[in-house]
Structure 1
Amino acid sequence: MKKNIIPLALGLSLLMAPATSFAESSENGALTDVPISNLEQQENDELIAEKDKAAEEWEKNKIKNGNKANASGQYYSISVSNYKQERTYWCGPAAVRQSLSFHKSKSGSSASLPSQSTLASKAGTSTAGSSSYGLKNALNAYKSTYKFSSNPYGTADIAGYSNPTSKFESRIKYVLSNKINAPIVLITSEFLPRYGGKDIRHYNTISAYSYSYSTGKKSIKMVDPHYSSTYRGAHWDPLGSTTSNGVVKAVYEADREGSNPVMVY
């Protein structure tokens, strides 16, 4: 197993920024650009390569077996609790808590879930938001507590691949079908129809994938920690593509905006 490396500091002034009220802070919960050490980047890339290879092998086996497990389509789901983010820029820590709720339930651990405040501290979250590297490290800090040490979280992009939609879909199906982890994605919200054009950089946890063979409809269940009940909750969003609105476009466009990775899985 690869050793987790602590990422470069995001800047002492950034990490030490005091918490502010909703009215004083930005709704954007995710940084656009973040630094990372060459060593952490290398180890993370190796981990993602291993995950992608496993996903490809799983997909090949399903095709070989004719996808006969469910003749009507594909459906993969895990249990994820929804938590309201406690500050406007704490969607990252709230999403981490949501993902940890899956591991707590799966492991049967009696350990209480960490607070959003604790997770914000572990992730290095500031009023400017979170980095995906920070969320990864916050999640992996509980790998022993909730017994997912053999499957540590890593961070990944999708824009650099020849088929971003296929890469995203493959990763999500693999981890959900095998109940490995609860993926967190960074989105640009304006590309999700339910946000009605509202534009923020925001983290959600994914809890399910659905593909109906009869209609061709593909959907992703997003567990949204937004502090407003208008957006918060578990929502079935269209998978979409890089050119049509839905989860993929929301993630893809967030990826194109900067260097902060858009998948934590």
Structure 2
Amino acid sequence: MLAPQRQQAILAQVRRAGGVRVADLVAELGVSDMTIRRDLEVLAERGLVIKVHGGATAPPSGVADEPGFAAKAERQRAEKAALAEAAAAHVQPGSAVALSAGTTTVRIAQRLVDVPGLTVVTNSIPVADVFYRAGRPDQTVVLTGGTRTPSDALVGPIAIASLRDLHVDQLFLGVHGMSTEAGLTTPNLLEAETDRALIAATRRLVVVADHTKWQTLGIASIAPLTAAHLLITDAEPPTGVRDLLTVELTDQ
């Protein structure tokens, strides 16, 4: 296979799945790791993909663009790990917490599997799976029903109805984007409604988002920045944000 043909095949897979791994492409196309990395470099220079650790993802195309879960999971891996560690420090044994859908909240779930006596409410299939695989008998996990999105969130009327009568101590909310004007945003209209239902069920809203989320705009606003009791992030936010809410910075 010639390089242009190979690169076209890689690009088609990125567009179809939202992202690719170098190891998978090596096995699928029967070429070396270095060859795949050169192909990704060529595609990245043309603006057709975004190189990430171990592979590449599709670039965002607009406010309604919603990358798949696998694609988002490869972005800002170190930052998400640090955010998850900081978020988990706020959870007490025996408390009830909610985790929204997202790759950052999955990292938080991985940090919470050792906290005894937790009740966890989530609309994220991957989050629920983290706790299911841990198999702790002293933890209770409530997974909402609903319609599945590309980011593996369960959304819509069924999800909202299941949250209506629930009450949790705190919610860890991942977001697609943040700005002082639009607030917390998502590229999925139904996910915005479901996230608002999660917010209504909690006593304390903790937004967990890395620096790339600033000035990124999703089509639907979830809530204003001031709805958050705490923002955990990895870099100093834009001017004026600290006047609106409490900010905790990680070391990452």
Say which structure is richer in strand.
Answer: 2
For the pair shown, the structure with the greater C-alpha radius of gyration is 2
Q: Which has the higher contact order (CA 8 A, sep 6+)?
A: 1
